[in-house]
Amino acid sequence: MRGTKEIIHEEAALPVEERALVVDSLLRTLNSPDSELDGEWVAVAKRRLMELRSGRVKPVPGSEVLAKARRRLGK
């Protein structure tokens, strides 16, 4: 049987999309999905998408968001 370090090394070599799937899968083993909560998040995501598409809110580039967060955290 492969050890933890070997598994981590193998997974780190995967393309980012596949690593994201592995992470999601592992997290689901720790935290059982909550269909009610998932439904609420879907509703929030749909509302936000409609706000963006309608022009009611303006998107902010990720680089700006991260820079602002770093300033707030003093990093």
Number of H helices, E strands in the chain: 4, 0
Smallest CA-to-CA distance from 4 within 28, 26, 21, 24 is with: 26
Percent of the residues in the chain that have a pLDDT greater than 70, as a whole number: 100
When pLDDT is averaged across residues 49-64 and rounded to a whole number, the result is: 96
- pLDDT attached to residue 6: 94
pLDDT exceeds 80 at position 73: yes
- pLDDT attached to residue 28: 84
Break the chain into its structural domains and give their ranges.
Answer: 1-32, 34-75
d(C-alpha 45, C-alpha 43), whole Å:
5
